[in-house]
């Protein structure tokens, strides 16, 4: 009988404990979940991205070699594509010959200028002499010492000498104009020579463009050309996914970003490697929602309107680790951001301790 009473007493005590403890446990779990979800925000609407370079020829021509294959890893400076250089070499040879011709012409004009300057000095000296002679003969002619015909011949010679001096001056001006207005400049600084040199350098630059090299380390993909194909300048032939920096663009609901700030740390996992986790840092938050930048933005001012929670892209730079698996552009990811926000007033201390 006593055992039965003890059993009833224990049963009532257990029921009482369950009635008190179970709701308390549920409340505590609810508070913990609420606090956790306000500090951490997560989404699986996220994707991995990497820097991508379009490999684009800068000259048109026929492809002679493609020494890389699809999805091959390359290093900076490695040859990716070679275009037939023959027409560009011929153009460079022609421009080199033209540059030499221009240099020879400038030298010849410089020599002609010196000769014309010497001729001008002689012509001016002859003009001065004839002027003095005409002046003397004019005085003598007034006293009938010199015949008038002789004086007329002297005046004619003076006029011809002056005309010759004017012609030589015009010739000098033309030569100086051909030499850019400054005949004392070295040949390399003459405008005509610099123009020919620029044309030659442009031809040399185009020749260098016939060999396309990797601008950085990475993996080539979308290789769509082969030897014999004709490529066009400005049209991409394949892409290079650069090694190194990787980031995640995570599209969070606008209601999740209340406490998210640049500098917050994040945990990242990708579907390909479910047992590996990466860490990263929030580096930017988009100034607008995804719908704002769409090709056809929504027109919410017309028709019936239904409120839809918008998503805002958040960029998270992934910490680089040499021992981790390769992250490939486009992989699906899950992201959880630690905002350091606390319902119990601990946010400033937690954030300061983190920074």
Report the CATH number that the domain containing residue 225 is assigned in CATH. Answer: 2.40.50.100
The yes-or-no verdict on residue 1 having pLDDT over 60 is no
Lowest-confidence pick of 110-124, 187-201, 225-239: 110-124
Instruction: Output Rg (C-alpha) for the chain, integer angstroms.
Output: 45
Q: In which band, very low, low, confident or very high, does the pLDDT at 250 lie, cut at 50, 70 and 90?
A: very high
Q: Please give the pLDDT value at position 140.
A: 66
User: How high is the pLDDT of residue 117?
Assistant: 76
Tell me if the pTM is above 0.85. no
Out of 62-76, 122-136, 259-273, least confident range: 122-136
Pair 221, 290 in one domain: no
Q: How far is CA 42 from CA 11, 227, 260, in A?
A: 44, 49, 11
Domain, as residue range, for 269: 38-50+244-354
Once rounded to an integer, what is the mean pLDDT over residues 32-58?
84
The pLDDT of residue 8 is above 50 = no
Residue 12 forms part of a structural domain: no
Q: Is 33 contained in some domain?
A: no
Whether residue 263 is found in the same domain as residue 336: yes
Read off the pLDDT band of 4 (50, 70, 90). very low
Helix (H) or strand (E) holding 70: none
Is 18 contained in some domain? no
pLDDT value of position 316: 96
Residue 223 has what pLDDT? 92
Residues 294 and 217 in one domain: no
In a domain, 334, yes or no: yes
The confidence score (pLDDT) of residue 334 equals: 95
Domain presence at residue 27: no
Angle between helices 86-142 and 191-208 (to 10 degrees): 180
Residue 313 has pLDDT above 90, yes or no: yes
* 29 is a domain residue: no
Query: What pLDDT is recorded for position 166?
Result: 82
Number of structural domains (the chain) is 3
pLDDT at 350 over 50: no
Stronger pLDDT, 5 or 342, i.e. the higher one: 342
Q: What is the pLDDT of residue 351?
A: 40
Please check whether residues 91 and 79 belong to one and the same domain. no
Q: What is the pLDDT of residue 212?
A: 96
Beta strands in the chain (DSSP E): 40-55, 61-65, 73-74, 79-83, 211-213, 218-221, 230-231, 238-253, 265-270, 273-285, 311-318, 332-338
Mean pLDDT of 270-276: 91
Q: Is residue 129 part of a domain?
A: yes
**Residue 277 domain flag:** yes
d(CA 292, CA 314): 15
pLDDT of 354 strictly over 50:
no
Say if residue 191 is in the same domain as residue 220.
Answer: no
Q: Do 142 and 78 share a domain, yes or no?
A: no
Torsion of CA 165, 171, 174, 176, to 10 degrees: -80
Residues 140 and 229 in one domain: no
Please indicate, yes or no, whether residues 164 and 266 belong to a single structural domain of this protein.
no
Q: Which of 34, 31, 40, 30 has the alpha carbon at shortest distance from 350? A: 40
Q: What is the rounded distance in angstroms from the CA atom of residue 261 to the CA atom of residue 337?
A: 10
Residues 132 and 217 in one domain: no
Both 100 and 121 in one domain: the answer is yes
Cβ pair 40, 350 in contact under 8 A: no
pLDDT at 64 over 70: yes
Residues 194, 142: one domain? Answer: yes
Whether residues 191 and 228 share a domain: the answer is no
Q: What does the pLDDT read at residue 36?
A: 55
**What average pLDDT is seen over the chain?**
82
**Is the model's pLDDT at 55 over the cut of 80?**
yes
């Amino acid at each position: 009988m006593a055992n039965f009473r003890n059993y009833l007493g224990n049963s009532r005590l257990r029921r009482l404990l369950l009635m008190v403890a179970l709701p308390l446990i549920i409340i505590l779990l609810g508070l913990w979940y609420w606090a956790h979800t306000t500090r951490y925000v997560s989404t699986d609407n996220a994707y991995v991205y990497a820097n991508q370079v379009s490999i684009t020829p800068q000259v048109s021509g026929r492809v002679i070699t493609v020494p890389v294959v699809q999805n091959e890893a390359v290093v900076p400076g490695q040859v990716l594509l070679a275009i037939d250089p023959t027409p560009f070499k011929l153009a460079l040879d022609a421009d080199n010959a033209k540059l030499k011709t221009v240099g020879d012409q400038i030298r010849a004009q410089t020599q002609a200028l010196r000769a014309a300057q010497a001729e001008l000095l002689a012509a001016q000296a002859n003009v001065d002499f004839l002027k003095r002679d005409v002046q003397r003969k004019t005085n003598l002619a007034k006293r009938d010492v010199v015949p008038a015909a002789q004086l007329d011949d002297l005046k004619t010679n003076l006029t011809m000498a002056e005309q010759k001096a004017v012609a030589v001056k015009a010739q000098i001006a033309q030569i100086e104009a051909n030499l850019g207005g400054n005949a004392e400049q070295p040949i390399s600084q003459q405008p005509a020579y610099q123009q020919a040199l620029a044309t030659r350098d442009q031809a040399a630059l185009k020749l260098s463009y016939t060999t396309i090299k990797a601008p950085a380390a990475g993996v080539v993909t979308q290789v769509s050309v082969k030897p014999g194909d004709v490529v066009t300048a400005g049209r991409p032939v394949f892409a290079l996914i650069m090694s190194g920096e990787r980031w995640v663009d995570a599209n969070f609901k606008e209601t999740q970003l209340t406490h998210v700030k640049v500098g917050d740390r994040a945990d990242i996992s990708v579907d390909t490697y479910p047992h590996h986790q990466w860490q990263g840092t929030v580096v930017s938050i988009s100034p607008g929602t995804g719908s704002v930048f769409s090709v056809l933005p929504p027109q919410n001012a017309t028709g019936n309107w239904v409120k839809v929670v918008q998503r805002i892209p958040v960029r998270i730079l992934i910490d680089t680790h040499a021992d981790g698996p390769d992250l490939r552009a486009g992989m699906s990811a899950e992201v959880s951001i630690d905002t350091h926000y606390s319902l119990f007033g601990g946010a400033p201390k937690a954030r300061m301790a983190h920074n």
